[in-house]
Amino acid sequence: MTALLTTLVVAELVVLVLLSFLVLGLLRSHALILKSLHDLGAGLELDRQVEQERAREGGSPGPVPVELERGVVTPGRTGDATAPQIIGADLGGAERSVDLGRRTLLAFLTTGCSVCAGFWSEFRSAVDVPGGGRLLVVTKGDDEESPSALAKVAGPGLDVVRSGPAWGDYDIPGSPYFVYVDAGRVIGEGSATTWAQVSDLMAQALGDDEHRVAVADGYVDRGDRDDPTSVDAELLAAGIGPDHPSLRPPPPPGVDAPGHEHG
């Protein structure tokens, strides 16, 4: 009997040890997944927004849902959306109002997002913005971003404006996020993890907008051959005006000319 009890106790201990290893393995896998999500920047902006809202309401922080998007997020606004004015300050603290009358790619970045770190590094060198536009990085204000941290990540030639209200005016869901503005209109927006993806996304948005405007005007430019002004100019240069005989050829044999009646 003693031997049987000893065997059962040993068996239970072995089972407990195996279960302990299984639980530790699951916890370690869970921790690695969370670390990977954190390195990607998932949920950081959402965490901050929810904590601020709960702090204002007098509540305590709690779990925050994390939503992972694909590499490129499709634009949510159309080409008719008006681009809100951006008023803020430059890195030196001087007040600044941004002129959005020209093509501008707004890059909404933060210093606490690991995905944004790749864009900060990319923007230390000049990048080609689709459509010949300029690049403008929009960060949050001093109440949410450290000026010294911004000075470290921003390159010397990078155009940066600090404007917390702009994030709300443009309904920015998180960082990084990009909005393409042309002549005061939002023609494209979205998010991606690399500059190549952003560039392709905005080039497509720019092309779609140009096509949309052309179709709305009732004329799709397919070259000088379809330009009525160009055609008239070429005819006049060749000596062919509105009354030129070649524009009124004689009727075929047996067919009376217009206005002619048989006697």
Interval 103-149: pLDDT, tens = 999 999 999 888 999 999 999 999 999 999 999 999 999 889 988 89
| Structure tokens belonging to residue 134 | 């300029």
Q: Which tokens in the block code for residue 215?
A: 């179709």
Bridge partners (DSSP) of residue 130 are none
Residue 127: exposure state from Cβ atoms within 10 A (0-12, 13-18, ≥19)? middle
Q: How many CB atoms lie within 10 A of CB 13?
A: 10
Question: Which of the two residues, 161 and 142, has the higher pLDDT score?
Answer: 161
Instruction: State yes or no: pLDDT of 24 exceeds 90.
Output: no
236: CB partners within 8 A, 6+ apart: none
Task: Kindly report, residue by residue over 249-262, the tens digit of the pLDDT.
Answer: 677 676 665 555 45
Is the N-terminal amide bond of 63 cis, ω within 30° of 0? no
Strand (E) or helix (H) holding 100: none
The span from the CA of 108 to the CA of 51, in Å, is: 21
Q: What is the pLDDT of residue 250?
A: 72
Q: Following DSSP, what letter does each residue of 212-251 receive, concatenated?
A: HHHHHTT-----GGG-HHHHHHHHHHTT--TT-GGGSPPP
- Highest mean pLDDT (candidates 32-46, 160-174, 200-214): 160-174
pLDDT digits (tens, 9 = 90+) for 162-189: 999 999 999 999 999 999 999 899 999 9
Structure-model confidence comparison of residues 238 and 71, the more confident one:
238
Looking at every residue in the chain, the average pLDDT score rounds to 74
Hey, how many other C-beta atoms are within 10 angstroms of the C-beta on 35?
10
pLDDT tens by residue, 51-110: 555 555 554 444 333 333 344 444 455 556 789 999 999 988 899 999 898 999 999 999
Cα angle value 248/251/254 (rounded, 5°): 170
